[in-house]
A and B are shown apart, each in its own frame.
Chain A
Amino acid sequence: MKKYFSFFKMSFIRNLEYRSQSIFHILGIFFQSLLVYYLWNAISGSNKKLTGFMVLVTLLSDFMQSNAGTVLGNKIINGTVSEELIKPLRLDLRLISESIGNSFFRLFTAIIPTLLIFTVVGYLHSPTAFRFLLFCFSSLVGCFIIALISLFVGFLSFIFDNWWGAKVMLDTIISFCSGAMVPIQYMPSFLRNILFALPFNYSISVPSLIYTGSISLINVYKALFVQITWLLVLIVMFGLCWEKAQRRVNAYGG
């Protein structure tokens, strides 16, 4: 556990080192949230709850964005994955710790400041303390879910070299399925029913609903239950795929 925590710390520190990159990224998140705020304020006719929901979805999507898959994909393509597998640690856990480290860096430097500014200016209502705790818990679980899904996409590199295409695809699908383009409740019913069941909804949309208070507490508990179930299912599925993939690397000889 300790060694993986040091990877978490390392990616945090690396972000601090590349200061100019981080500053531009932080400003980017801020302006993107501003765009989403003004756009949805205009679309919804100043509906505070809907606008707040969209801002939160945007922020959470950024928080959860994971590079685990792209790193894995690159390692598979240039063959360094075999080196990594010899080391006395699990590559998958390492990638996830690094990805979560990056997420937490963005959380402290970009997402919390943006949330604070938006709350102070009055663009966002602050939730009750209890709801805020539930929101944090749900977001954290979501963060793991998205990192796992990203790793799944990294496996695609066994088939394609085009990790860039895979990344565009994943980012688009996540942002559509999580309601970052249009809230899921505004989609036609056939699509809504599918998307409501998928893990993207539970990782990004549900925490945002908890924050804005658009979901009753009973439904929150139900959603959290499903979310954790999804996490467990993904962990098991990932474990199975990881075994298979490792064998495939050995067959390739890296």
Chain B
Amino acid sequence: MHMGVKYYLRLYKDYVRIFLYKAKEYKGDFLFGILSIFVKQCLLFWSIYFIFMNFPSVKGWDKSDFYFLYAVSVIGYGICYTFFDGLWMVGQQYVQQGDFDRILIRPVSTLFQILAERINIDGITSIIIGVYVLIKSRLLVLNGNVAVNIIILVIICIMSGLLYSGMLLIFSSFSFIMLDSIYLMTLVNSFGDFGRYPIVIFPKFIQIILTFILPYGFASFYPALFFLKYSSRFYMLFFEELLVLILVWVLGLTLWKNGILHYKSSGA
């Protein structure tokens, strides 16, 4: 179980290569996947555009604020979909059908295998669209040093992706007990949709849920405050977010480890 980072990197590269072979073999499918994500994201951004064609601002937040928040969250979702999509399949594919047996007998981390077996390169589409909208939403050029802003933005987006996937990890671990927790994951994920908007437009109790219970507020709203309201509290926000991220991942990994102990093979 104690292989080095280098070993894992090499292994991951091989998995990526397998994915690329698959994409080459089923070219139509791959392109269709990219097209469907492209259409989805375009229509979502278009909708925001249409909303602000009719309503100039929403409780003091204007179009570019909405674009910005949405873009950060789309990039976060994109990262999560590209690299962590295997978590969705834990119940259906691995626990219910007993496929987890195969994972367990290998001398490699279980979580790593599940993540690596399902890499969706087509998720890059959402990341690209998100980046395009970020650039378009003009916020990069404002307020000081462009290079610093870009670095901060990259960090924010990666953290957002890690937060979405950490939350998935927590709730996918329940699959080992419930056989399939995909519906629970969908439910939790639907709270993630709240996080795509300035959460202060929602009532207090939802803000509290999004901050303390299901911390999706940290996926784009809190970090984006730095750019949107030029909060000087950035470093505070940064550490708060880091803390949330660490808590989520520690909880997720603990649950995962305990979940595996509950795994019973289907005998297949």
Contacts and interface: CB of A to CB of B under 8 A. Distances in A.
B250 interface: no
Contact of A161 (B26, B191, B197): B26
Contacts of A34: 206
A38 B186 contact: no
B183 A20 contact: yes
A110 interface: no
A25 B185 CA distance: 10
Main secondary structure of the interface of A (DSSP, over half): helix
Contacts of B206: 34, 38
Interface size class of chain B, counting residues whose CB lies under 8 Å from the partner chain: 35 or more
B35 A182 contact: no
Interface stretch (A125-133, A138-146, A162-170, A224-232): A162-170
A188 interface: yes
A172 B47 contact: no
A35 B190 contact: yes
B47 A182 contact: yes
Contacts of B53: 186, 188
A168 B33 CA distance: 9
Contacts of B178: 20
Interface of B: 26, 28-30, 32-33, 35-37, 39-40, 43-44, 47, 50-51, 53-55, 58-59, 178, 180, 183-184, 186-187, 190-191, 193-194, 197, 201-203, 206
B55 A181 contact: no
A173 B183 contact: no
Contacts of A27: 187
Interface of A: 20-21, 24-25, 27-28, 31-32, 34-35, 38-39, 42-45, 159-162, 164-166, 168-169, 172-173, 176, 181-182, 186-188
A2 B187 CA distance: 36
Given A172-B43, A181-B43, A165 B187 contact: no
B261 to A, nearest CB: 21
Contacts of B50: 182, 186-188
Given A43-B51, A165-B35, A176-B43, A38 B201 contact: yes
B187 A159 contact: no
A159 B26 CA distance: 11
28 contacts: A21-B183, A25-B183, A28-B186, A28-B187, A32-B193, A35-B193, A35-B194, A38-B202, A38-B203, A39-B197, A42-B58, A43-B51, A43-B58, A45-B55, A159-B28, A162-B32, A162-B33, A165-B33, A166-B36, A168-B40, A169-B36, A169-B40, A172-B39, A172-B40, A176-B43, A176-B47, A181-B43, A181-B47
